[in-house]
Amino acid sequence: MLGFNRHAILVEYYRVAMVRFHESRQAYEAGAADRERLRAARANAAIHRSLVRDAVREFVHQLRDSGMAPEVALVAVKHRLTLSVTAATPGAPSCEAALLETDASSWAIQAYYDAA
């Protein structure tokens, strides 16, 4: 009888493990659409980010070519970026806007000192 009980316990453990596995797989498959949506959003954000980087570079080159000092050009980029971001997306998370401002500042400094 002892061997039978041990076998019955192992069978029950196996059954519970299989139920959990199937539940886990269903949850993973249900989240596939969300993961795909997030991947597409990340790719879209990367495209927009590169467009912003190119626009900052072009703007800084224009300011530099007009004889503006680097610190004044940086302030102008930050000001324009603040106006653009808050007007376009007033409900955007502030941490994302701060990160974009930090990146735009470094892009502006790099662009100012690019070879003309």
The rounded distance, in Å, linking the Cα atoms of 116 and 114 is 6
| Angle in degrees, 0-180, between the axes of helices 70-88 and 94-112, rounded to the nearest 10 | 150
pTM above 0.95, yes or no: no
Tens digit of pLDDT for each residue in 30-86?
A: 888 888 988 888 888 888 888 889 999 999 999 999 999 999 999 999 888 877 776
CB-count burial class (<10 Å; 0-12, 13-18, 19+) for 81: buried
Residue 25 clears pLDDT 60, i.e. is over it = yes
pLDDT grade, residue 99 (50/70/90)?
Answer: confident
Mean per-residue pLDDT for 3-29?
Answer: 91
User: How many other CB atoms are there within 10 angstroms of residue 45's CB atom?
Assistant: 11
